[in-house]
Amino acid sequence: MAQNPVKPEGPSAEGLAAAAGQAARKGPPPVHLWNPHYCGDLDIEIRRDGLWFYLGTPIGREPLVKLFASILKLEDGKYYLVTPVEKVGIRVQDVPFIAVDAEASGDGQAQVLTFTTNVGDQVAAGPENPLRVVRDPETGEPSPYVHVRRGLEARIDRKTFYRLVDLGVHRDGWFGLWSGGAFFPIIPSDELA
């Protein structure tokens, strides 16, 4: 007599990782084309420092974090991990990635800034991947971001941002950076006086 398999009561990180691994074997997952049914939330959180947690415990396996990062999707201000057959919600404290390094090539308006994230993505800032800076209303402290893919952003870490400031120029009353033929304002020039 055959036994009926026991169906899990909801989404699991293990099941999601297995499905994502299958999809990733064919190249970068086309999550923008996947529109599966919502299956609930998983207790996964990406903290402001870029660390991923599952059930309150850090996910220490870097390949698993990279796999999950490859199937991350932003819809209507909420973050999901998606496969061709399921979509589960997760929590993100700020943005999902941290830009941990940047390399500049060229100079002036021809300069290109290429960022590397904590999950190994590389992205060249420009019109399709803009830079933006949000300033804390109380302290004026800047929080710089770069668009990575499909609405997902990386916060630029402090050491990288300070290195980039050395490349900044003044234009039309703003101090900012050139990359990919676009100028990205950081702070009004008169605030630097």
pLDDT tens track of the chain, all 193 residues?
444 443 445 666 666 666 555 544 556 789 989 999 999 999 999 999 999 999 999 999 999 999 999 999 999 999 999 999 999 999 999 999 999 999 999 999 999 999 999 999 999 999 999 999 999 999 988 999 999 999 999 999 999 999 999 999 999 999 999 999 999 999 999 988 6
The b-or-e profile of 11-42 (16+ CB within 10 A means b, else e) is bebebbbebbbebeeeeebebeebeeeebeeb
Evaluated on CA atoms 92, 44, 23, 36, the torsion sign reads negative
The pLDDT value given to residue 13: 67
Distance CA 61, CA 36 (A): 26
Q: What is the pLDDT of residue 27?
A: 64
Q: For residue 183, what pLDDT is reported?
A: 98
109: Cα separation from own chain's centroid = 26
Judge whether 19 and 81 are in contact, CB under 8 Å. no
d(CA 19, CA 11): 11
φ/ψ of residue 190, rounded to 5: -70, -15
What pLDDT shows up at residue 175?
Answer: 96
